[in-house]
Amino acid sequence: MDLFGKILVLANFALSLMMAAIGGAVLFYRVDWSDAPTDAATGAPPGELVARIAKVKELQALVTPADAYWRETRASLLAQEERRKGDEIWYAAELEHLKTGDASKKPILALVFDKGVTTPDPANNGRPQMAPVADRFGTPLRSLVWYNQQQGAVNADTTTVLDKIDKASQEDKTLTSLLLTEKQADGSILRGLLDRIKDEASKQDGIAKEDELVFLTEGQVRADSQLLLLRKTALEKRVKELEKTGAAAGQ
């Protein structure tokens, strides 16, 4: 118990020294958090709040114009955001008209430029001015859907024509093969049209020559027939003369 009492006494003494040090620090190094100005009589410095209040006033003087500018800019931004919503709707409608619009009811429009800059349209809330546009041939433009349909039709026609050309090419290849003489798999010879045309030409030449010979022969036969007719006439006259002579002798 004596040892424990001594420990408590020492602990109490150490705690007392600690509290005395804290009290001295608070007494000699305390911060005056009052807003009292400098005391000319005692020379005491002003309270800590004096400098802080002055700093707050200085910052408030800077915040006031910044706050006014921010509020003005915010109002302008809200107005521009509101206009942007209308511009987005207008732009989406124009873009949709370019894609699927009926050009017969509303022409396809394009931006109007003046020295490389778009011209604002006062009648359309200052949005870019639009004007009808045509191609290089002077034909008014149509929507993208219309051109896609036309392109699809042209592609279909092109496919049909290409199929016809392919079929014609195959037919031409088949017909060309018929022009040439080919040896079949069984060893027989299939004469081509060219050789057959040559044979036919040779036949026609032979027929022409035969016709020429026939014509000459026919002429000779006609000449012989004329001579025979003349001979026959002469013989008939001679027979009549002989008959007259015989009759006279009989008398």
Tens-place pLDDT, residues 195-239: 777 878 888 888 888 888 888 887 788 887 888 888 888 888 888
The pair of structure tokens assigned to 64 is: 């006031």
In the predicted structure, residue 177 carries a pLDDT above the cut 80: no
Q: What is the pTM of this model?
A: 0.45
Q: Is the separation of the CB atoms in 35 and 49 below 8 Å?
A: yes
Phi, psi of 38 (to 5 degrees): -65, 135
Question: How many angstroms separate the CA atoms of 78 and 44, rounded?
Answer: 54
pLDDT at 1 over 60: no
Task: Label the pairing between strands 189-190 and 182-183.
Answer: antiparallel
For residue 131, what is the enclosing H or E element?
Answer: strand 130-132
Q: Report how far apart the first and last C-alpha atoms of the chain are (Å, whole number).
A: 226
Per DSSP, what are the bridge partners of residue 140?
A: 134
Structure tokens, 48: 């800590």
Per the DSSP assignment, residues forming a β-bridge with 120 are 128
Mean pLDDT over 125-137 rounds to 89
Q: Would you say residue 251 has pLDDT above 60? A: no
Please indicate whether residue 122 or residue 186 has the higher confidence score (pLDDT).
Answer: 122
The C-alpha atoms of residue 145 and residue 150 are separated, in whole angstroms, by: 9
- Other Cβ atoms less than 10 A from the Cβ of 101: the count is 21
- With b for 16 or more beta-carbon neighbours within 10 A and e for fewer, the 104-119 pattern comes to eeebbbeeeeeeeeee
| Domain map (residue ranges) of the chain | 32-82, 101-142, 144-186
**Tens-digit pLDDT profile for residues 83-100:** 899 889 999 999 999 999
Q: How high is the mean pLDDT of the chain?
A: 82
